[in-house]
Amino acid sequence: MKDSSQSLQESVKWLRGLSDGVAGREIEKIVTKGIRQVKAHRGYLLCDFIVPNSLADENGNWNVGAIATLIDIVGSLPIYSFTSNDSVSVDFSISYFSTAKVQEEVEVEAKVVNKKESLTSVIVEVRKKENRELIALGKQWMISAKRNITPHLVSKL
């Protein structure tokens, strides 16, 4: 069984691979391209991200589907680092409060907030870097999968 430091290292390595476009499925690569880990420890991840032009909606805002995908991906990594197990989403909700324009810098903070038996909960906050205005708040429950899969194969909703 993996210990939490090994799981944390794997989570950070996976995020770096997504950011560089060398790991993950195509949609994961597109949505996370350029994301930068700022801080990481067991059950916690803080990232900076500049919204690329490729993720714009028709008004030049960050596409809400891309935000949801980013929240799902970033939210799964602290859970993996916390439980040392691969997990599958069982409940996922997002509230949107504002938006960001393309080329705007945001920060994405994900933290494990609860663990009950094989269920683990994470909250992901997406904020504008400049003024900390809340863009979106994601809440996710994941259940530990008792099989050996790598983080990039974790089920997405």
pLDDT band at 149 (very low <50, low <70, confident <90, very high): very low
Amino acid 103: pLDDT: 97
Which element (helix H / strand E) includes 76? helix 64-83
Q: Is the pLDDT of residue 157 over 70?
A: no
Instruction: Choose between 106 and 144: higher pLDDT.
Output: 106
- CATH superfamily of domain region 4-153: Hotdog Thioesterase (3.10.129.10)
Burial 91-112 (b: 16+ CB within 10 A, else e): ebebeeeebbebebebbbbbbb
Whole-prediction pTM value? 0.84
pLDDT band at 146 (very low <50, low <70, confident <90, very high): low
* Cβ-proximal residues to 60 (8 Å cutoff; 6+ apart), any chain: 101, 102
pLDDT in tens, 52-104: 999 999 999 999 999 999 999 999 888 888 777 777 888 999 999 999 999 99
pLDDT in tens, 7-56: 778 877 777 777 777 777 788 888 999 999 999 999 999 999 999 999 99
